[in-house]
Homo-oligomer: A and B are copies of this chain.
């Protein structure tokens, strides 16, 4: 019943989706499940966030889509990472790490003792 974070940090979803797709081509529904599993139930992507995000990433040519039969024998839209998408992912990961460091600097600044 752990509810994870209240709301996804805006701007991180693209990177996370790109990363999951980099693990292997996958369709929307499965991407959300993988993300939830890998993050140990922390990230729960709502469909209203996921599908617009996938369309966004496809529009930007970071993902490309193809209809295929899924594991369950049903038609699903499989996304795979383009070269441009991989570059973007790498850039976002680097930026994420720099951001974490910067936040860390702020959080670890000690308050003065009286």
- Nearest residue (CB) in B for A81 is B111
List B contacts of A12 (CB < 8 A): 9, 103
Copies of this chain, complex-wide, total: 2
Question: Is B96 a contact of A103 with CB atoms below 8 Å?
Answer: yes
Q: Tell me if A1 is interfacial: C-beta within 8 Å of chain B.
A: no
Q: How large is the interface on A (under 10, 10 to 19, 20 to 34, 35 or more residues)?
A: 20 to 34
Known: A7-B11, A11-B9, A43-B102. A107 touches B112 (CB 8 A): no
List B contacts of A100 (CB < 8 A): 100
Question: Is B39 a contact of A102 with CB atoms below 8 Å?
Answer: yes
Q: Tell me if A63 is interfacial: C-beta within 8 Å of chain B.
A: no
> How far is B111's CA from A19's CA once the two chains are assembled, in angstroms?
9
Indicate the member of A9, A43, A106 with the most B CB atoms within 10 Å: A106
A residues sitting closer than 8 Å to B (CB atoms) are 5-7, 9-12, 16, 19-20, 22-24, 35, 38-40, 42-43, 93, 95-96, 98-103, 105-107, 109, 111-112
Q: Can you list 18 A-B pairs, Cβ within 8 angstroms, ordered by A?
A: A5-B95, A5-B99, A9-B12, A10-B10, A10-B11, A16-B103, A19-B106, A19-B109, A23-B109, A23-B111, A38-B105, A39-B102, A39-B103, A42-B98, A42-B102, A43-B102, A43-B106, A96-B107
